[in-house]
Amino acid sequence: MIKKILIGLAVIIVALILAGFLLPSATVIDKSVVIKAPANYVFEELNDLKNWPRWSYWNSIDPEMKTTFSEPSLGAGAHYTWDGPHTGKGKLTITASEPDRSLACSVAFSESGAGITTHTLEPGKDGVTLVSNFTYEHGMNVISRWMGLIFISGEVSKAMDYEGAKLKELAEAKPRFSVSISEVEVPATHYIGLSHTMSTQDPAAIAAQMSKMYGELMGALAKTKTAMTGPPFCLYPRFDDTSMDFIAALPVGADAKLPAKYKMMQTTGGPAVKAIHLGDYKALESTHNQLNQFITWRKLEINGAPWEVYITDPEVEKDTAKWVTEVYYPVRK
């Protein structure tokens, strides 16, 4: 009797092994969801790994999961590791990132191989369609093929449905802004600068004072034949309804030779919120207000003086409608 049972078990095992070779050599899952929001609203959730706990299925089912993020945490090369009682251990790495278009990740599971996830944003009439793909190669591993059929297909499919719905919810709930706003990582920048305090009630006087200060700074660089490493910018350590402190600045190399009167200074690098302002400087107040609304909505904390980068030279381009200004607020998440 026992012999018959053992023979029967052997037959079943052999049958399962043979059947395993007939199963697909890879688990491939495709999902799509229509999101009525601009592409950058969705992309910024994907591109910064520190945003993932907001919409990740795996974080939702394993709240005790410990996650460690790389610095920077966004863009190609960024990664995080996880260790949870329900989800085990692993590492996810962004392998490719094309702003507002696509993102690709490798997902390494410490005990069961690795997979590849891609997200593509396809433009539509009222927003975008988020197309997501998960591919897990099993090769000739029969056990892995059965795991793909029994566990991976069902659980990962469920996770992708959850995450698509959460990304849709987050992107569609985001306030609408008239300027392009995104979360970025900025490098530290060396600069030469002059500070000044004046009333905020006279924009013309501010513009005249800034022009005078930039003229002095450019003259100083010309004397030492020091080249600028980027466009001029202005930091605002303090400003209110009546007055403000500002620093007119010109970026230079770390080894720049400066006249004795001037000191080399450096901005703080790290996470920031960036807006691209198109048009006259007179409308910059609205852009600053929208940035503050964005920061409040994202529950971020301002972490230093904001600054404006003047991409367009008004002496060259006279049409104010074509002036481009980048506005940055350093933040703490």
pLDDT along the chain (333 residues), means of 10: 50 42 64 93 92 93 93 92 91 94 89 81 93 77 50 77 95 84 92 89 82 92 91 92 90 87 87 93 88 90 95 91 94 89
Q: Rounded to whole angstroms, how far apart are CA atoms 207 and 18?
A: 79
Residue 54 DSSP one-character state? G
Cβ proximity of 309 and 248 under 8 Å: no
In 99-232, DSSP assigns E strands to 102-109, 113-123, 128-137, 180-186, 190-199
Indicate yes or no: pTM above 0.75. no
Q: How many CA atoms lie within 13 A of 147 on its CB side?
A: 12
Smallest CA-to-CA distance from 55 within 165, 134, 183, 156 is with: 165
> What percent helix, strand, coil does the chain show, rounded to 5?
35, 35, 30
Q: Which long-range contacts (CB under 8 A, 24 or more apart) does 121-129 make?
A: 121/39, 121/42, 121/43, 123/39, 124/34, 126/36, 127/34, 127/35, 127/36, 127/37, 127/38, 128/34, 128/35, 128/37, 128/38, 128/39, 128/42, 129/32, 129/33, 129/34, 129/35
Q: Rounded to whole angstroms, how far apart are CA atoms 100 and 163?
A: 18
**For position 213, what pLDDT does the model report?**
93
Domains and CATH numbers, the chain: 19-173 (3.30.530.20), 181-332 (3.20.80.10)
Which pair of tokens denotes residue 248? 């007119």
**For position 242, what pLDDT does the model report?**
82
Radius of gyration of the chain (CA): 27
**For position 203, what pLDDT does the model report?**
76
Residue linked to tokens 């593509």:
120
